[in-house]
Chain A
Amino acid sequence: MNIIRYQTPSAVAPVLPRLSGLSALSSEMDRLFSAFPFFGGSEERFEGWQPAVDLYHDKDSVLVRAELPGMNKEDIHVSLHEDVLTLSGERRQEKSHNEKGNLRSERYFGKFERRFTLPVRVDSRRVAASYEDGVLTVTLPKAEEAKPRQIEVNVK
């Protein structure tokens, strides 16, 4: 799953089930997330460092975890615009003057960017992010109207 362009609902509709925030049942959300990897404009394909990202959800929030070992907190950026979450940053390589040469170079350095269109509305004021042991965890509480609600049926 690479860069995902934000698709307007009309572009998305032919392929995915109806995107309706109010009726976001968990199974529908699962399909939405799993279908996304096959989306994305190829013009925005980003070669190079693609940190692994996992997505979780429960009735209250969406959780995004990214493996980003060896970064400085200041170099990690999390931003939310409407329902598009962008994780980006830069991992700098510290070179000491004493170095004679690289013998093995498997780590990625430089910039990365991952973008996700969230299938539910989230409360942007309450989004929190933490970085521990090289793992970034972003907690996005769902907006009240996006949470599943039981509708009472009145029988006359």
Chain B
Amino acid sequence: MTVPAEQQQSQQHNGNGQPQQSQRRSANAFLRPRTHIVETGDGYTLQVELPGVNKHGLEITVENGELTIVGRREPFQTEAELVYRESRTADFRRAFELDPSIDTTRIAARLEQGVLTLDLPKAEAAKPRRIEVAVA
């Protein structure tokens, strides 16, 4: 699944690419999902933990070199009474500043059992290249 760059309302960010304003307003409070980032030979792989989020609640956008992930989930539907809670019910949101060498047109995503895996390949030109020297 490739993700085209879309227009998105930008929010104020601090240096970590994390929106600060929305975290203070309790009505719009989001959780910051745990993320694992690995660098590979071809680019980067992100694993983002979004328990309870399915494909319909997932929104991934790329704009101006910034990747934003929003994971919305329905609260647990039950007639039973809540007795004890450790989990937090809010939706997830996290933004990342992308290495400029990433080819955003080839970003691939898959969601499996609440984990979003994103492959962020580097553009061909950004990979180290050997320059052949012609000897006259």
Footprint of B on A, CB under 8 Å? 1, 26, 29-30, 33-34, 36, 52-58, 61, 63, 65, 67-71, 96, 98-108, 131-135
B128 interface contact, C-beta 8 A = no
**Interface contact B37-A33, CB-CB below 8 Å:** no
B35 interface contact, C-beta 8 A = yes
Determine the distance from Cα of A102 to Cα of B40 in the docked complex, in whole angstroms.
Answer: 9
- Chain A residue nearest to B76 in the complex (CB): A65
**Interface contact A54-B85, CB-CB below 8 Å:** yes
Q: Given the complex, which residues of A lie within 8 Å of B81, measured CB to CB? A: 26, 56-58
**Interface contact B38-A99, CB-CB below 8 Å:** yes
A–B complex contacts, Cβ < 8 Å, 8 sampled: A34-B83, A56-B80, A58-B78, A65-B87, A70-B114, A99-B39, A134-B49, A135-B51
B51 in complex: contacting residue of A29, A30, A105, A133, CB < 8 Å: A133
- Chain A residue nearest to B35 in the complex (CB): A106
Q: Given the complex, which residues of A lie within 8 Å of B85, measured CB to CB? A: 54-55
Determine the distance from Cα of A134 to Cα of B76 in the docked complex, in whole angstroms.
Answer: 13
**Interface contact B51-A134, CB-CB below 8 Å:** yes
Instruction: Decide yes or no: A52 and B87 within 8 Å by CB, A67-B52, A69-B113, A133-B113 being known contacts.
Output: yes
- Chain B residue nearest to A67 in the complex (CB): B51
**Interface contact A58-B80, CB-CB below 8 Å:** yes
Instruction: Decide yes or no: A33 and B52 within 8 Å by CB, A100-B41, A107-B34 being known contacts.
Output: no
A70 in complex: contacting residue of B49, B52, B78, B79, CB < 8 Å: B49
The smallest beta-carbon distance between A74 and chain B, in angstroms, is: 12
**Interface contact A33-B41, CB-CB below 8 Å:** no
Instruction: Decide yes or no: A103 and B39 within 8 Å by CB, A33-B83, A54-B85, A61-B80 being known contacts.
Output: yes
A33 in complex: contacting residue of B35, B40, B47, B84, CB < 8 Å: B84
B86 in complex: contacting residue of A29, A54, A58, A133, CB < 8 Å: A54
Determine the distance from Cα of A58 to Cα of B52 in the docked complex, in whole angstroms.
Answer: 22
Determine the distance from Cα of A56 to Cα of B52 in the docked complex, in whole angstroms.
Answer: 17
Q: Given the complex, which residues of A lie within 8 Å of B124, measured CB to CB? A: none
Which residues of B, 26-76, contact A by the 8 Å Cβ criterion?
34-42, 44, 47, 49-54, 73, 76
Determine the distance from Cα of A29 to Cα of B80 in the docked complex, in whole angstroms.
Answer: 13
Q: Given the complex, which residues of B lie within 8 Å of A100, measured CB to CB? A: 38-41
